[in-house]
């Protein structure tokens, strides 16, 4: 078996999500016989006692405050972490991280330069998928349906062409942090400011009123399709991480042809973004019932009840087997 550094934490709004995932991945990997050391991006290698107190399977209803994140970012030094002894001597670095530099390619580039083997997509694929404006262009070039969009600021005629309501989101973020729906011009300034609080580039996208779905990809195989039914208008941060606020139906109760179409589009998106090992592709149906790709998640949530593990379970792949396959794909690459 392998010696694995489970790298988690981070200074992004999705820090709590990462720690929750690590609380379940670590015992799963140990159950497979691996030697696992949990490494937090700020504190470094954790003792078993510190691991017990820091890794919490629950996620707060709100992400950490900007002040908390600023303090975490001040203490975090990813280049020093990767170049130092914390990750030396391991067979594999298993990434349980979300958002910003830790998912968007910077950390992956540092790991590549250091010659360290790690799970998930490389620096290029991570960067392509994280930048929502670039990923939209790639989807269009590949002929994969996606909602029409523009980058703020937009001229009035372009806004009129997109129509109301509009989804306003940070161009480089995850877990729906900073995402809101503007139903008219009066709501747009506040929506833009909410997105700008997370990222300087803001995407404005046509709202698709149809049902929402997700499909995982593992290796070169599309997994099962699930339907997401949030309590709110969109699958926002609160709905994602507050128990009881979203129904997640796996497998989705849809015609087989629609499920196969989304599985094919999910795999095509994974390939178009040059992703590897695993990902999760999110969809929403347009007014005609056509599945449109919302985004690709290169490091999707990894608690036992997260969407990727549920997508895998529909094909008989339990949580331990999913973790084992992610390790295998990275170790044999």
User: What is the set of active-site residues?
Assistant: 14, 175, 241, 280, 282, 295, 297, 301
Please state, in angstroms and rounded to a whole number, the distance separating the CA atoms of residues 140 and 148: 10
DSSP 3-49: EEEEEE--SSTTHHHHHHHHHHHHHHHHHTT-EEEEEETTTEEPPHH
Cα dihedral 29→19→82→111 (10° resolution): 70
Bridge partners of 44, per DSSP, are 40
Nearest Cα to 284, choosing from 211, 179, 215, 234?
Answer: 211
Helix 106-113 vs helix 123-130: crossing angle, to nearest 10: 180
Enumerate residues 6+ apart whose C-beta is below 8 A from 189: none
Please state, in angstroms and rounded to a whole number, the distance separating the CA atoms of residues 20 and 65: 18
Bridge partners of 71, per DSSP, are none
């Amino acid at each position: 078996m392998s010696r694995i550094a489970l790298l988690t934490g981070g200074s992004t709004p999705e820090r709590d999500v990462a720690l929750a995932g690590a609380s379940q991945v670590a015992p799963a990997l140990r159950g497979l016989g691996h030697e696992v050391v949990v490494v937090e991006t700020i504190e470094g290698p954790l003792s078993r006692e510190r691991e017990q107190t820091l890794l919490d399977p629950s996620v707060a209803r709100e992400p950490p405050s900007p002040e908390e994140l600023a303090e975490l970012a001040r203490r975090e030094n990813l280049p020093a972490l990767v170049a130092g002894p914390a990750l030396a001597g391991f067979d594999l670095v298993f990434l349980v991280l979300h958002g910003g530099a830790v998912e968007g390619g910077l950390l992956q580039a540092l790991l590549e330069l250091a010659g360290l083997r790690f799970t998930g997509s490389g620096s290029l694929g991570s960067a392509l998928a994280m930048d929502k404006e670039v990923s939209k262009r790639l989807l269009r070039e590949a002929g994969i349906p996606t909602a029409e969009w523009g980058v703020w600021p937009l001229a009035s005629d372009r806004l009129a062409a997109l129509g109301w309501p509009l989804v306003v989101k940070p161009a480089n973020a995850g877990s729906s942090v900073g995402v809101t729906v503007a139903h008219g011009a009066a709501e747009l300034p506040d929506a833009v400011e909410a997105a700008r609080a997370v990222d300087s580039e803001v995407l404005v996208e046509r709202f698709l009123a149809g049902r929402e779905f997700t499909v995982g990809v593992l290796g070169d195989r599309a997994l099962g399709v699930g339907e997401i039914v949030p309590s709110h208008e969109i699958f926002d941060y609160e709905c994602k991480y507050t128990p009881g606020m979203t129904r997640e139906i796996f497998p989705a109760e849809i015609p087989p042809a629609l499920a196969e179409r989304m599985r094919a589009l999910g795999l095509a998106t994974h390939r178009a973004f040059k992703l590897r090992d695993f990902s999760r592709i999110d969809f929403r149906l347009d007014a005609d019932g056509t599945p449109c790709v919302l985004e690709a998640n290169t490091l999707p949530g990894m608690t036992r009840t997260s969407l990727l593990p549920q997508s895998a379970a529909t094909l008989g792949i339990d949580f331990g087997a999913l973790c084992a396959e992610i390790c295998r794909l990275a170790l044999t690459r």
